[in-house]
Structure formats: C-alpha cells, structure tokens
Structure 1
C-alpha cells in the first residue's frame, strides 16, 4: 500500500479537522521529497477527478502547504514536482514561493484598522490579544478588522466566532496577506470561507491556488471568470475546470471540523 493509499484510508476516518491536519503534518516530513511529492500527486489527481475522499485528504494538507512556517519544505516539494514532471502536484504548488506569498510587498496600511482608546491612542498588541480571548461579542466586533496575524489567530479560535464573521474578514479589501494565511489555515475546510478567499484579488496566490483543489466545478468556473483575480489563479482554475468531470461531480457536503 502506497502512502497515498494509506492517507486515503486513514485521514477521512479521523474525527475533527485539527486531528486530520496533525496527521498530515507528520506525513509532510515523514517521507523523502521524492516519495512525498509522488504520493501528493496521486491524491491531487484523484481530487481533480472529483473524488470526495481525495478532497478530504487534500483539505488536511492545504493548511500546511499555505503556512509560511513550512515554506522551505513546500518550496522543495514544488521543485521536485517540476523536476519529476508530476503535473497535479505542480498545479497544487504552482505559486508556493516567497513571491506567491506576497512577502516582499510593502505593508498595505493595516494599522489604520487598529482599535483606538478614547484619547485616540492605539490599543497595544498585548491588550488586543487579550481582548480576542474574551467570550464577549462586543470585543470580537471591535477586533474583526485587526491587521495583526497574532490577534486574528486568537480571534479565529474564539468559540463565539461564526462563519459569517470569518467570511466578512476574508472578503476585506485590501487583503492583508498574513491575515489571509491565518484564516485559510483555520477555516479553509468551510466552503464559503475558502471561496471568499479565492475570489479576493488581494489574497496571496500561494494561498488561493492550493485552495482551488478543494473547489467544486461551479466554483472553479466562477473563479476563472473573475477578471480582477491574478492571471495565475484564473489559469489554474481553468486547468482544473477542464480536468473535472462535468457530470460526475455532486456538490460535496461541508468538510467537517
């Protein structure tokens, strides 16, 4: 049994999205680059053919592939996929680079969204992080547009946060790349959230492109028709749309936490 087959048999049976991602995190570093890329390519090929099981497996890997903490490993995977002519893995990792994460771009002025005290002074990062942990709806509403990824990470884990809240943050323009990464890491298994990220022209291509593999055919069509998106995102959506069986796919149920 290949590791890809083991993933397909094991990951969907795990309870909870966090547990699935934890399993995938071990797999990301367990194999050689060659073996890992080959197995990932096998899963991607099945997902491209509308396999719900393969898409569930892919949804466990995507939060890792878009996380800059794993960028060195993922860049090596991308290079291996290109050198080994593994097209499905190559499509998944097409923009997995420093440039794809928009890390070299100047700040988009997110400090304007930092909440202020009554005297106009900004609330400190430590205080905002403490506010994000509170079970108060009023505190969450104040922080919904916070530009700092550390605050957003805590906010997204707050049990009072709703999918509607996350969709609104993911749709914000201009997008803040580091915030988009945090949203995708925590909520990409929710269909509305991932589509909102993909359709935001400010989302880093290193995030949007891997998410394309989790979209259904109608969502791929919507993406490839969105004129304001980066060319690479639209082109990859078109590639996947052409590969996806037009009649075999049934809209999948929401990927479970």
Structure 2
C-alpha cells in the first residue's frame, strides 16, 4: 500500500471488529457501528459490510450483529437517503449479503393461530402469572408448556430464566408453526442471539421474518450457510443470499 492510501475493506473490517468488541454488546455497540458506517460513503460501507460477511462466524459475529441492529433501527447516523444509496450500490455490485440487510419481505410461511391451542394446565393462569412463572420457575415441563404456547411476552421472560439451556432455546427457535414475534424475541435476547445453534434454528425456520434471517446469515459458519442455501423450505431471497455468501467466502 502506498503512503497515504486508504486502507482496503479487509483492513477496515479488522479495525471495525476491534473497535466494536471493545464495547458492550447491545445498543452501545450498535450505535458505534452506525457511526462507523455513517462516517464513510455508501460505496465504502458496502465493501466493508461485504468484507465482514466474508469472514463468517467467530470474530466477525458481534460486528455483523451490531451492523444488522444499526441498519434495522432508526439511527440518525444512517439516514434513509444514505441507506438508499447503500442499497443501490450493493445491488449494482451484486452484494446480496449487503442488500439482504436492507430488505424485509414477509416470512416464507405465514403465521396462522391454531384453532385449538389451549393447555389445560395453563388455561386458568393470567398473562402476568405466566410471565412470572416463565421468568423464575424451575420445572422443565412447565417451562416447555409455556414455550409451546409461544406468547411473545411470555417467551421474552422465559429467555431470561437462568435455568434455560441452549438446546431448550434451540427448540423454541425451531418450533413450527411459530409466531414471527416469538422468533424476534429470541433474536433480541442478548444472552442467546449470538449462539450459532440458536441463530441457525431461527434462519431455518420458515416462520421467521426474512429480515431477521438475512441479518443472521452472515454470522453462521460456512457449512451451515451452505445448508441454508439448499433448503427449499426457506424464502428464495434467504437461499440466494446464502448461496452468495458461500461463493464469496470460497473466493
């Protein structure tokens, strides 16, 4: 690199990973990601995000999660005109891993409430009582029943229960049919959203909002992304972005 030349996207990606990992995971990290992206032109931002996506799971996981959050939330550092330019650049260059973070088509499988979802053991409980049980109860059978109902506000409390294990959360994320709002609760949980198995279960659930699945794709390992690309039950856009990621990482 010549003196004074701007760093390439790979170097910028490494620097951004280091900067974001120095911050607490959550809103603070997302705001820092928004400021970092907003400080450069959309052309450079598109290359930077694509470089991060090519790095796959591991060190880039937290950075991609923060960028996904920043692009989803109304951040003053990323006005809609800037986002529109980012989309245009990424679309023109075929960077599906970037455009996928900016679109939100409906889920592949539309959610329809079941005709009979009553659980005899839970039928007499109020919503507040269910939330309290979900937050602190130890009975695995009861927790499983609460999870099976899929009420988002209850699941949100359930995800805070210290008794929960990763396999239990994976079962919640993989349940079909499942309300999209319930899957969003899983993704928004700081404790669980960066777990590879949990993220994969959400991505492979056809009831997940496509926006969420696209944002999680870039943090999955290569073999899992390749499986997503071949999964005919998923949204065509999710499969297309997965295939693009596989090709980009191979290159």
TM-score of the two chains, using structure 1 as the length reference: 0.74
Task: Report how far residue 85 of structure 1 moved.
Answer: 3.9
In structure 2, C-alpha distance between the alignment counterparts of 1:95 and 1:51, rounded to whole Å:
17
RMSD value over aligned CA atoms?
A: 3.6
Aligned to 1:12: 21
Among candidates 217, 223, 229, match of residue 218 of structure 1? 223
Say whether residues 1:189 and 2:189 are aligned partners.
Answer: no
Task: Report how far residue 206 of structure 1 moved.
Answer: 0.7
The verdict on how the C-alpha distance between 1:28 and 1:40 changes in structure 2, with shifts beyond 3 A counting, is farther
Task: Report how far residue 218 of structure 1 moved.
Answer: 1.0
Aligned to 2:238: 233
Equivalent pairs counted in the alignment come to 235
In structure 1, C-alpha distance between the alignment counterparts of 2:55 and 2:79, rounded to whole Å:
25
Task: Report how far residue 13 of structure 1 moved.
Answer: 4.1
In structure 2, C-alpha distance between the alignment counterparts of 1:148 and 1:34, rounded to whole Å:
40
Map 1:83-122 onto structure 2 (within 5 A): 83-85=88-90, 91-94=97-100, 96-97=102-103, 99-100=105-106, 107-109=111-113, 112-113=116-117, 115-116=119-120, 121=123
SS of match in other structure, 1:209: helix
In structure 2, C-alpha distance between the alignment counterparts of 1:72 and 1:98, rounded to whole Å:
17
In 1, are the aligned partners of 2:30 and 2:70 still within 8 Å (CA)?
no
In structure 1, C-alpha distance between the alignment counterparts of 2:160 and 2:57, rounded to whole Å:
30
TM-score of the two chains, using structure 2 as the length reference: 0.75
Among candidates 86, 90, 95, match of residue 81 of structure 1? 86
The verdict on how the C-alpha distance between 1:58 and 1:180 changes in structure 2, with shifts beyond 3 A counting, is same
Task: Report how far residue 159 of structure 1 moved.
Answer: 0.8
Task: Report how far residue 29 of structure 1 moved.
Answer: 5.1
SS of match in other structure, 1:144: helix
In 2, are the aligned partners of 1:49 and 1:244 still within 8 Å (CA)?
yes
In 2, are the aligned partners of 1:4 and 1:39 still within 8 Å (CA)?
no
The verdict on how the C-alpha distance between 1:133 and 1:112 changes in structure 2, with shifts beyond 3 A counting, is farther
In structure 1, C-alpha distance between the alignment counterparts of 2:41 and 2:174, rounded to whole Å:
33
The structure with the larger Rg is 2
Aligned to 1:165: 168
In 1, are the aligned partners of 2:20 and 2:32 still within 8 Å (CA)?
no
Aligned to 1:151: 154
Aligned to 1:251: none
